[in-house]
Structure 1
Amino acid sequence: MSSTSFLHLFPFFLLLTLTLTLTLADDPILQRFQQYLQIDTSHPTPNYHQAADFILSQAKSLSLQSRTIEFVKNKPLILLKWPGKNPNLPSILLNSHTDVVPVEPHKWSHPPFAGEISDGNIFARGSQDMKCVGLQYLESIRNLKASNFEPLRTIYISFIPDEEIGGHDGADRFANSEVFDEMNVGIVLDEGLASPDESYRLFYAERCPMWLVIKAAGAPGHGAKLYDNTAMENLLKSVEIVRRFRAAQFDLVKAGLKEEGEVVSVNMVFLKAGTPSPTGFVMNLQPSEAQAGFDIRVPPIADQASLERRIAEEWAPASRNMTFEFKQKMSVYDKNGRPILTAHDGSNPWWALLEGAIHKANRKFGKPEIFPASTDARYFRLRGVPAIGFSPMANTHILLHDHNEFLNKEEYLKGIEVYESILEAFASFPAETKKDEEAIRDEL
């Protein structure tokens, strides 16, 4: 580009810079949050490297040790470290994911990657799920360092890719790596959910995914012919059986007998059948194949084996020319056959420390819950490491994966204070003997 061309474009660059500056809040804490939200890390093409550069710049400003790991090419995992005074003690891991789900921009009242603040609310994809938590970790550390706090235990902060598409190239590989083994993690904090009232929500387990595809087969036939065991007839019978099961589970929640995370959820996510034609589908031909997909989530307190028998015998019986397969299936049990969950009673000192820290920050919390969906925390629990799901968002509508996702700026700032209290409690947890630490982990 010639110097003349550059000078011609200079007013445009200046206007662009001024426009970006004007969209940022006056508070540098909120500015940093907005800058992170403005990085488009939505699937299917998340800008992971730009997010990584931003996190690394924040780490540098906080004098944190940093490491970039790519278990899979172009999917960087950023691992930060604040060394403790006693590196032999089990460490604390603060986990978050950098990716977000896709958006339909025309259905948003504010641009989904602008981080605009309107009526005190910060609108952006990731404002609740979960860029807020990742930045709150760093802001709480910024405050603790400013107060000259020195952690007894080492604190790690991980920013991980691919959580929104299953986490197999992110947390799964990380939790099963030599890197993780060397960290000697004693407790993991990961994401939770917003709470519509004043009490924070704390999660000790989560429902495990069983993504099911049911297929039906039958002889093709003329669109006017009536005969038994058509593919569509058999599939619709199964859909109705599944619908009744779903309704029974949902009724338990509606009646207040169980929380959402305590029942098996089933939702049909696709229905596929028919013979395509240039104008749509062939209308006078009954298809020989039909299939439906279901997103099933199973809590660790459920009988997963019984559910699988139900699928084979009732939902997709071979007697009706039905077959099924799991696109993804995670066991609710660990390798020793125990439910995958974190103790949330007196046997778990981390849980008591968390509750005490929230109280100290003058906030409230509800009873322990099972997370209704799936998070990266499951991979750490599978390794036998206790993990707690927590996102400090009270008085907030649950908008993760929804249009117009937002978080109130005051709730965001209060969440930083809460994490500051939590990290101070966790990182100051006094030394136990190695034997005691191992006993606690085995019990959890």
Structure 2
Amino acid sequence: MSADYATNPAVNTLRDYLRIRSVHPNVNYDECLTFLRGVAAAIGLPVQVFEVVPKKPVLVMTWEGLQPDLPSILLNSHMDVVPVFEKSWKHPPFAAEIVDGVIYGRGVQDMKSVAVQYLEAVRRLKNKGIRLKRTVHLSFVPEEEVGGAEGMAEFVKTEHYKNLNVGFALDEGIACATEEYQVFNGERTIWHVSVVCPGKSGHGSLLLPDTCGEKIRYIIDKFMDLRQVSKTRLESDPSLTIGDVTSINLTMISGGIQDNIIPEKMTAHFDIRLATSEDLEAFENTIKQWCVEAGAGVSYNFTQKDPYVPPTAVDNSNPYWVAFKAAADKLGIKIVVRTFPGGTDSRFIRATGTPALGLTATHLTPSSLHEHDENLPVEQFLRGIEIYEEILPSVANI
């Protein structure tokens, strides 16, 4: 490891954060809170902790602005990380090893590096004696990696969140392998649908009418045919990314009790991510029609049915975007606007009517989200701090 890295306080802060095993399932966030309180104290930021859901704390640091009555800036990050298959890692996932200028660890891209970049940018600005017009809040939330239902989704409903008076938020994005930096202004709508196919049960040697197998085949064919439409569209148009199309995946099939018994019911489960251009009502009506066509008694239900959330405007109607873009132009970095392919806490913020952008300030780096040996070049991490150091005053002083 480079001697410069060994003594770099930002790098050491990141490594300390990565060593905290805030990993699912059943995350204990106490160590994260202790660590974050210590960092906040060192920077000189007051801390509040809100436990809207028991054992699912939200920690908020606050850097008060010169005009605290103005809508504030929120820098959001999540404390939790996804599980690891430790035997498949070449580098221990919670050791934060640095090898040839690259730091390895679960959460280094998703998204502990971003959290530390926020913190370090604020620390540097404060050390320069800079005061911003708007108050800046840094939120550290739980449970994002399992959908956010007991994290940001609940927090935004509270008076605690309303009292933050958020006018604009930054959250995570995805590292980009090319020269560009990806900025995400919206997300596809997440639907998890289960289609239940009942039918006549009997001996597996017979050709009974009205079986659940015939019905589930019809349903799966319809969903997979529509999946192919999106796949063909994506493959035939290089300007599109996965976030621009509706994705459909068959994720589970359940039913049956024995090889030689035709079951009385089978269920197909689908993960659907609806493009922002999709008509949600029409899409659900299509599912209804397929169920009718599949046969008697076929029904569907949602295990998750997110509402449509409009993307954040990226034009002159949004002064925060104008300020964000001006900072990027000053830095000389090229940004491309995308629709996020998965789901982040940004969708809960946007659903309140607050503009939010997703940015992981990392380029020339392949995404390793949720992968074995998740990693980030240290120089990219340090450059990201400089980027936030420019963006934060730009959006906070409008």
Q: Specify the alignment match of 1:418 in structure 2.
A: 387
On the 8 A contact 2:72/2:137 being kept in 1, the answer is: yes
Instruction: Work out whether residues 78 and 142 of structure 2, in 8 Å CA contact, stay in contact via their aligned partners in 1.
Output: yes
Residue aligning to 2:105: 124
| Displacement of 1:49 | 1.1
395-404 or 196-205, which moves further after superposition? 395-404
Equivalences for residues 171-190 of structure 1 within 5 A: 171-190=152-171
Structure 1 residues 248 and 365: alpha-carbon distance in aligned structure 2, compared to 1, 3 A threshold: same
Query: Structure 2: how far apart are the matches of 1:104 and 1:271?
Result: 25
Q: Which residue of 1 aligns with 2:356?
A: 387
- Is 1:409 aligned to residue 385 of structure 2? no
Select the residue among 18, 27, 33 that pairs with 2:14: 33
Aligned twin of 1:258 = 240
Partner of 1:377: 346
- Equivalent of 1:341 in 293, 302, 311: 311
Structure 1: which amino acid aligns with 2:245?
Answer: V
Q: Say which SS state the counterpart of residue 299 (structure 2) adopts.
A: strand
Alpha-carbon distance between aligned partners in 1 of 2:294 and 2:205, rounded to the nearest angstrom: 26
Compute the displacement of 1:150 (Å): 0.8
- Mapped pair 1:313 → 2:289: yes
Equivalent-residue separation in structure 1 for 2:192 and 2:171 (angstroms) = 23
TM-score, length of structure 2 as denominator length: 0.95
**Runs of 4 or more consecutive aligned structure 1 residues displaced over 6 Å after TM superposition:** none
Report Cα offsets for 1:57-86 as digits up to 9, x if no partner: 100000001001100111111000000011
| Partner Cα distance (1:413, 1:120) in 2 | 12
Mean Cα displacement is larger for which, 411-420 or 224-233? 224-233
Question: What is the alpha-carbon distance in structure 1 between the residues aligned to residue 253 and residue 374 of structure 2?
Answer: 28
Residue 97 in structure 1 maps to residue 73 in structure 2: no
Cα distance in 2 for partners of 1:378, 1:420 equals 25
8 Å Cα contact 1:42/1:100 also seen in 2: yes
| Contact persistence 2:17–2:32 (CA under 8 A) | yes
After TM superposition, give the deviation of residue 315 of structure 1 in Å.
5.3
Does residue 350 (structure 1) correspond to residue 320 (structure 2)? The answer is yes
TM-score norm. by structure 1 comes to: 0.86
C-alpha displacement at 1:312, in angstroms?
Answer: 1.0
Which among 378, 398, 409 is matched to residue 367 of structure 2?
A: 398
Q: Secondary structure at the match of 1:129?
A: helix
Match of 1:198 in 2: 179
Counterpart AA for 1:270: M
Paired residues of 1:97 and 1:160 also in contact (CA < 8 A): yes
| Pairwise CA distance, 1:323 | 1.3
> SS at 1:201's partner residue?
strand
Secondary structure at the aligned position of 2:108 is classed as coil
Residue type of the alignment partner of 1:359: D
2:215/2:295 contact within 8 Å kept: no
Instruction: Give the 5 Å matches for 1:286-305.
Output: 286-305=262-281
Distance 2:283 2:206 in 1: 36
Report the CA distance shift for 1:44/1:316 in structure 2 as closer, same or farther (over 3 A): farther
Partner SS for 1:234 = helix
Q: What are the superposed Cα offsets for residues 281-318 of structure 1, whole Å, 9 maximum, x if unpaired?
A: x2211222111211111133211111101111115757
- Determine which structure has more spread, i.e. the larger CA radius of gyration: 1
CA-based RMSD of the aligned residues comes to 1.6
Compute the displacement of 1:258 (Å). 3.1
2:323 maps to a residue whose letter is L
Q: How far apart in 2 are the matches of 1:124 and 1:316? A: 49
Q: CA deviation at 1:252?
A: 1.1
Q: Which runs of 5+ in 1 are unaligned?
A: 1-21, 276-281, 334-339, 430-444
Amino acid at match of 1:46: V
| Aligned residue identity for 1:308 | E
Q: How does 1:128-277 map to 2 (within 5 A)?
A: 128-256=109-237, 258-275=240-257
- Sequence identity percentage: 37
CA distance in 2, matches of 1:292, 1:120: 46
Aligned partners of 2:94 and 2:253: how far apart in 1?
A: 32
Give 1:273 deviation, angstroms.
Answer: 2.2
